[in-house]
A = this chain, B = another copy of it.
């Protein structure tokens, strides 16, 4: 382990050095020939020597710095550690970085007893650093989400011959900007006592090589600590920009102030930022442990949805985004030019799910984007979001569908509690929430719309004393009913069935025993709708009649093509539902906005990044 040998030059690390090679390359279009090659060679050689000279100058500067560092009696006239630190770019011409043979690459989550007293190599971000005198520097490294470890660089004594750490190296490491990407080599040591500020608390890294792969700016647009605070403003307007300026200023203060706040999740005086600031600094927004945790919960939600349905014979498919005519009425739809003709963005995969059923696919689901051109600037709205949709044949009753949807959601909720317990806790340190209350198996709460309205009339707030059974619920009504259901049944997840005819789209099947209501349901989480669905009309004649009653023209573009599908062959009875993925995640975690659950929220005012 003592002999340092050149390792294979990691291509990525030498990449910035390519500028030299780029410059040496002949301009395109020139004919290849021996004379050209010779000229190239000479040019490359000249470049190499120029860089060599530059490096020598850098070394001189470093030595000078090392001399003055700590103001002490340093006799490091020559920096003997120049091969052990620096910007990766500077090593391109020197044959690349040199790591100790056997210093295995390791990821922090995998670091364990087998690595103790051994050399390892790892990538990470500088989460924090602190000089201790002139000879020592503590560097906190982070990898992925919140995997942190304490590293230390200590200047070695003059008689040490290997793994030399110079004062200049210590100082340089301490001066590197936070959130720079570094690759280090280090000896793993057991921590004398648990390092509370780090997730990897049992070990520390005695760093012997410290290379910056990609530097962060000296002043971050959003610090990790701020990024990990609750978003304090969702209004993405000019105010947001002012906010961004303030935030940037605060960040500057933060850096100059020093590095006292090591623990990003600890209570502190660091202010939260506006969502606009977060999104303008998408890298830091995403690196915040809270956003990493939300992203994990979101991914797990989708996985749980897929696995439940897949195991029950559902097949996934993709519904198209580009459509010929505005479906479902035509309001709030984005229009584009498609080779000279108008086209539209799909507002839901509804028609296509039904085409799958008509086409004999029996049980289908799809996960994909849906678009709504609604100019609503609230924390509940987005113009693009991810739909989790399903559709299935009915054998006996549309309650088969309702139960399937109930089943998949309960599978998601229980699955999240099990698989994402740690992530849920992480989110709670920033966005507090109570455990999401679920019904016990067999005690699922399914009320009819009429029963819901009755509950509201009899036990709800005064303003809902006169709600009727044939009008759709408002958002405040839904919230109030959610509260009543929670009190009465001890669940925050329930189903409202048999919606009034007037509240549902034309393709919804009426209840054959009561024409005032439909075989249609909504599902709720914490008093907010997350799913809408029902039985669909599977027969062309009835579909046409229903369209006419709803004031729609079944011969109009978009609707005609839809009805015609049901004339092509006999379509079995079927039903389904659509779940808003962003909503499920946001309401489960009690986030203040669905935009925090999205990866790249789209609102009327924002399409960036």
Contacts and interface: CB of A to CB of B under 8 A. Distances in A.
Nearest to A360: B287
Contact of A12 (B16, B21, B217, B509): B509
Interface string A538-572: 11011001100100000000000100011111111
Nearest to A302: B316
Most chain B CB within a 10 A radius of its CB, from A360, A384, A574: A360
Contact of A336 (B295, B345, B358, B546): B345
A464 interface: no
Contacts of A182: 570
A495 interface: no
B570 A512 contact: no
A185 to B, nearest CB: 13
B216 A569 contact: yes
Interface in A56-104: 89, 92
Interface residues of A, number: 136
A394 B570 CA distance: 54
Contacts of A607: 320, 322-324, 338, 343
B283 A355 contact: yes
A342 to B, nearest CB: 10
A18 interface: yes
Interface in A565-609: 565-574, 599-600, 602, 604-605, 607-609
A470 B27 CA distance: 13
Contact of A545 (B22, B351, B573, B599): B22
Contacts of A123: 393, 395, 572
B213 A11 contact: no
Contacts of A17: 512
A319 interface: yes
Interface string A501-518: 110000001111101100
Contacts of A324: 607-608
A199 to B, nearest CB: 14
A407 interface: no
A352 B602 CA distance: 14
A362 B144 contact: yes
A277 to B, nearest CB: 12
A480 interface: no
Interface in A490-543: 501-502, 509-513, 515-516, 519, 535, 537-539, 541-542
A343 B92 CA distance: 41
A296 B364 CA distance: 11
Closest 10 CB pairs of A and B: A286-B359, A12-B573, A181-B570, A336-B336, A214-B570, A179-B569, A324-B607, A21-B515, A180-B570, A283-B568
Interface of A: 8-19, 21-22, 24-25, 28, 32, 89, 92, 105, 123, 125, 143-145, 177, 179-182, 212-217, 220-221, 281-287, 291-292, 295-296, 298-299, 302-303, 306, 310, 315-324, 334-339, 343, 345, 351-352, 355-356, 358-362, 368-369, 371, 373, 375, 383-384, 386, 393-398, 470, 501-502, 509-513, 515-516, 519, 535, 537-539, 541-542, 545-546, 549, 561, 565-574, 599-600, 602, 604-605, 607-609
Given A282-B359, A286-B355, A339-B373, 6 more contacts: A11-B519, A15-B537, A21-B512, A123-B572, A336-B336, A339-B604
